[in-house]
Amino acid sequence: MRFYNNQHKYYCGIDLHTRKMYVCIIDEKGEIREHRNLKTDRDAFLKAIAPFREDIVVAVECIFTWYWVADLCHNEGIPFVLGHALYMKAIHGGKAKNDKIDSQKIAVLLRGGMMPMAYVYPSKMRATRDLMRRRNHLMRKRSELFAHIQNTNSQYNLPDSFGCMARPKNRDGIIEQFKQPSVQQNIAVDMEMINTYDSVLSQLEKSIVKLANHHDPVSYALLQTIHGVGKIIALIILYEIENIRRFETVQDFASYSRLVKCAKESNGKKSGSGGSKIGNAHLKWAFSEAAVFFINGNDPAKKYLDRLTNKHGKSKALSILAHKLGRAVYFMLKNKEAFDQKKFLTV
C-alpha cells in the first residue's frame, strides 16, 4: 500500500458522482475553506478551486467516473491523487455516511498522508485498454451461448457432443439434430448471436493489434515468446501492466496480479488469507490462462507440472505455475529479454 504524503497549502477531496460532485477544500491547518455540492462540470470545478490554485492537490476515489477529473488536472497542471477504493473503505469507515462526510474524509486523509494511492493509468493507452476489456466481456458472452447449446444437448440426451463449436465448421447441422421446432428456434437464435459476435470480435482484435504495435511493439513481441501465449493474452498483459517499471519489486507485481495470497496474522496466530479482491482481476485471468496453454503440446512443461502436482495437487500446481509465469514476465519486460524455457523450468 502506497500513501500520498506530499505537503501542500490546500487539499481538495471530491466525492464524485455522475451528475453531482461534493467538494471539500481544507488548508494545511485542517480548517475547511470550501465545502459544497457542485454540478459535475469542468468549469464549475475550476471556478470552485480558483482561489486556492496557488498550491492545491485534488483527490477522488477510484470509481468509474474519475477519468475526466484526472485528465483535467493533468492539463491544468494540478497534482492529482486517485484513492484506492478498497483500502479507503478500510481506513475511513464510520457510523454515518453521506457525500458531505465522504468528501471531507478524503481531504483529511490527503492532508494527513494517509490517502492510499491507486495507479492513474495514462490517457494515451487507457481507451485501448478499455476496448480490450470490452472485447473480453463480449468473448465471455459468446462463451455463454456455446455453453447454452451444449446444455440443451444434455437436456435432450442427444447421442453425440457437439465438440468445439468455436470452429465454424463444427456448427454445421447442429440445429437439425433437435426435433422440436421451438428448440430449433432457440438454438438458431444462439447461432445467429454467435456469428454476430464472431464478426464484431474479429474487427475488434484487428484494430487492437494495430494499436498495440504502435504503443509498445517490443514488449508485445517478448510476451509471445512464451509457449502458449498468443496475441490476446499478450495484449491483456501488455495493457493491464502499461509500464512494468511502476512496480518496484517482483513481489509488488505478483501481489498486484493476484498471484499470491496475503496471510492474516495477529498475536502470532494465522487466520487464513485476505485481500483476494485487491489487485488486477484481468491479469489474474491472463496468467491463469497462460499456465494452462503453457503445458499444451509442451512435454518439458508437462513433466514440470506433474512434479508440482505430485507435491501440491493439481489446482495448487497450476496456481504455482501461473505465479512463476508472472514473475518471469516481470523480469522479461524489465530487462527486455525473451522467454528462456530451459532456465524457467530449472530455476
- One domain, residues 101 and 137: no
pLDDT of residue 69: 96
Would residue 78 count as lying in a domain? yes
Report the percent of the chain where pLDDT is more than 90. 75
Check pLDDT > 90 for residue 44: yes
Residues 6+ apart with CB under 8 A from 317: 305, 308, 309, 311
Q: What is the CA radius of gyration of the chain?
A: 25
- One domain, residues 152 and 106: no
Check pLDDT > 80 for residue 161: no
Mean pLDDT for the stretch of residues 293-306: 95
For residue 187, what are the domain limits?
125-215
- One domain, residues 211 and 238: no
Q: With cut-offs at 50, 70 and 90, classify the pLDDT of residue 272.
A: low
Least confident piece of the model among 48-57, 96-105, 205-214, 295-304:
205-214
Would residue 224 count as lying in a domain? no
Mean pLDDT for the stretch of residues 340-344: 93
Number of domains making up the chain = 3
Would residue 225 count as lying in a domain? no
Contact yes or no for 80/58 (Cβ under 8 A): yes
Would residue 14 count as lying in a domain? yes
Least confident piece of the model among 56-60, 101-105, 264-268, 296-300:
264-268
Q: With cut-offs at 50, 70 and 90, classify the pLDDT of residue 190.
A: very high
Q: Which residue has the higher pLDDT, 229 or 209?
A: 229
Mean pLDDT for the stretch of residues 25-31: 96
Phi-psi region of 272 (alpha: psi -120 to 50; beta: other; left: phi over 0): left
Would residue 296 count as lying in a domain? yes
Instruction: Give SS3 for 127.
Output: helix
